[in-house]
Amino acid sequence: MTLTSKKFPTDHHGWAELLPRRQANPPLQGAHREPWVVVGAGFTGLACARRLATLHPQQNILLLDARCVGQGASGRNSGFVVATSQFPGRLDKSRLENYRRINRINQAGLELLSAQVEHHAIDCQWRREGFIHTAVDRRALQEYENFLHYLDALQVEHETRDKAVLHEQLGTSLYQAGIQIADGALVQPAALVCGLADNLPSNVRLFEQSPVLSIEDGKPLTLHLANAEVKADKLILATNYEAPALGFLRPYIVGSTLAGSFTRKLTGAELASLGSLTEWGAISLHSGGATLRLTRDHRISIRNTAEYHGSVLLSDKELAQRQATHRAAFDKRFPQLANVPFEYAWSGVEGISRNGTNFFGRQRDSIYLAGGYNGSGVSRGTAFGTAIADYASGETSQTVSDCLASAPGSMMPPRPLLDIAAFFTVRSRFKGVGLDR
């Protein structure tokens, strides 16, 4: 596949719009010879470049991103930094060690991010007090019971919430039951990823709006950009769902496009009509249910659509259409705020695999890859990025071993069957969602 720089459009919606304008680094130009190149400056790529800089303090690390930082998937999620993953279905005791492995990865990423936020004083609304998993309809209420068995088996600290408590805390009578997980963080994701990018080690050079258009094998590797060429000894790809565009993971990963909306800032009276919590996050226990936030700057964010859309963002027209779904879900939860308008909308793409696995390791000689987080990319991507830097450098750790133990990916059919299969795979997550949407 031959790429062009036009294949990496962006828009001006969502979390980044809530921040002061950031001065982007210039695109890469000219000819370069580098020991290390990392492609992708999201959570995975930033963590990878940071770790490489520590492991190789005398070497330059070149970090390239096709867009401006904060405009990729890392700045377009709902801002949940997961410590404990939810696995749908009944507890399978034979998989307990696999559950523990995945949660060790989540926890490693959470700790890394927490340390960076504190060390660099990143202003990103970081709140490490966990969040709530909620249920309304039959399918989600069954997952509520399943999740409780899972948490008990893994000895994860949690508390249950009944309808009355959820109403008192969140200001909505919709939810029938919930589970508060003790650990995990809420964050303004665009602020976090931009803060991480603006506090990189001195031997990391970041170039934005610099898409890699093709990779030529050899010793060294050759990366072709629109106005630059890079010779590299080792290359690490942190491009998640866009890896197939560069010839990697093509039968194994696709992008699911999600969309959400923000209200304007709520007034004091509007906030008073909500519950006792001044900041919270709620994730539906149904995989197709709504994800909501009451943010520190007094907005409500809601995300409840996901679709196969060719792994691209929604147009303004399409985004406006999805807002009707956001609006219906919002009014259902907060009828007392029916007159509060949405101020911003956003869409973002998550990388999903057919069997829910992640990807980690060496792809070809001198080319390494980490990606495919199925919606848990903030914490997991950070851990995978750090671990792939270790692995490519010949280092070992518990996280490297845990990442290497990811199950092999299930192949997807070729196009056009891929498009059909991806459409129904994403659509299936809404089966039985009912009022949880």
Cα 151 to Cα 133: distance, rounded to the nearest angstrom:
12
Is 64's pLDDT higher than 60?
Answer: yes
Which one, of 370, 392, 390, lies nearest residue 381 by Cα? Answer: 370
Element (DSSP H or E) covering residue 53: helix 43-55
Pairing label, strands 80-81, 185-186: antiparallel
Percent of the chain with pLDDT over 70: 99
Supply the pTM of this predicted model.
0.96
Percent of the chain with pLDDT over 90: 88
Q: For the chain, which domains are there?
A: 25-129+188-252+355-406 (3.50.50.60), 131-182+255-353+428-436 (3.30.9.10)
Half-sphere exposure (Cβ direction) of 113: Cα atoms closer than 13 Å: 41
Query: What is the pLDDT, as a whole number, of residue 411?
Result: 87
Query: What is the pLDDT, as a whole number, of residue 5?
Result: 65
Residues 6+ apart with CB under 8 A from 65: 39, 40, 41, 42, 45, 72, 206, 207, 208, 209, 210
Is 1's pLDDT higher than 50?
Answer: no
Place of tokens 């009014």: 331
DSSP strand E in 226-289: where? 228-237, 253-263, 280-284
Beta bridge partners of 366: none
Which one, of 351, 340, 347, 339, lies nearest residue 294 by Cα? Answer: 340
DSSP sequence for 308-328: ESTTSPPPHHHHHHHHHHHHH
**pLDDT one-digit tens code per residue, 162-192:** 999 999 999 999 999 999 999 999 999 999 9
Tokens of 90: 């009944």
Confidence of residue 279 (pLDDT cuts 50, 70, 90): very high
